[in-house]
Amino acid sequence: MKKIAIVSAGGEIAQALIKEIGDARVYEIDPQNPPDLPEFAERLQEDGMTDVVFSGKVDKRAVFSSKINFAKKDDISILKDISFYFTTRGIKVRSQLRWLKRFLTKEGVITGRMSEAFDMNIKFGFGIAKRLVRLGIGQTVCVKNGIVVAIESLEGTDETILRAGSLVQDFVVFKGGKNGLELPVIGKKTILAMKKAGAKALGLQANRVLLLPSAVGLAKKEGISIVGL
């Protein structure tokens, strides 16, 4: 009999997973100070867990103090190494998509309307974001008038958006992603960051980013356009 563990670093996506999976045990971790991997894997084994799904984003700066010598430090490689570590100990790492496929971003305008300027900047941002993802740098790029204002690195999506807002107003944000065990997620926090920063539109790579209904509802309320490419 399968016993599923949800390893949650916080965020709305954990609640969505709990609701969709139903019978699962939740292990909450501090995203700023994640547990030691060998000790945590041993704990899951002792608890009889057969499957694990990760939820939420761990602060990448935690890699600097990790006892695990990751061959590569980009998000995808780290997750693959962690997955291999658990698998060799009899615990299968499952993709969020097994339960959250209905939240995948679809192509087309999702909220608001796209002006010609927004459309141009979002398509430009799409090209930049794909390169960032491929290089393992980040997933988010902020653009205004065909100029890159900010790109994501260690700080994460929301902080990247706020940094862009400290430089310009009325910009657009694009977020890309890769197929993998854990997909990037857009929830209310990102829309609130966009509102605070003065961003007007959000482009998302279709079928590569999870978009929660709470984010869609808030974007409609705040007049922020969302489009899937």
Chain-centroid distance of CA 37 in Å reads 21
List of domains in the chain: 4-100 (3.40.50.20), 104-228 (3.40.140.80)
Average pLDDT rounded to a whole number, residues 123-137 = 91
Tokens found for residue 78 = 């780290």
- Cβ 194 vs Cβ 158: under 8 Å: no
Structure confidence at residue 171 (pLDDT): 97
Question: What is the b/e burial string over 1-12, where b = at least 16 CB atoms within 10 angstroms of the residue's CB?
Answer: eeebbbbbbebb
Among 49, 16, 57, smallest CA distance to 40 is for 49
Q: Are 217 and 189 in contact (CB under 8 A)?
A: no
pLDDT above 90 for 80: no
Answer whether 172's CB lies under 8 Å from 201's CB. yes
| Residue found by looking up tokens 């658990």 in the block | 86
CA-closest candidate to residue 157, choices 179, 170, 141, 134 = 141
Helix boundaries (H) for 47-174: 75-87, 97-100, 116-135, 157-165
H/E stretch holding 42: helix 37-46
What pLDDT was estimated at residue 55? Answer: 86
Band of residue 81 on the pLDDT scale cut at 50, 70, 90 = confident
Q: Is the pLDDT of residue 150 over 80?
A: yes
Over 60: is that where the pLDDT of 67 sits?
no
User: What tens digit of pLDDT does each residue of 7-60 get?
Assistant: 988 888 888 998 999 889 999 988 778 888 888 899 999 999 999 998 877 665
Residue 69 confidence (pLDDT) above 80: no
For residue range 160-203, list pLDDT tens digits in order: 999 999 999 999 999 999 876 678 999 999 999 999 999 999 99
Following CA atoms 229, 9, 161, 136 in sequence, which dihedral angle do they give, to the nearest 10 degrees?
-60
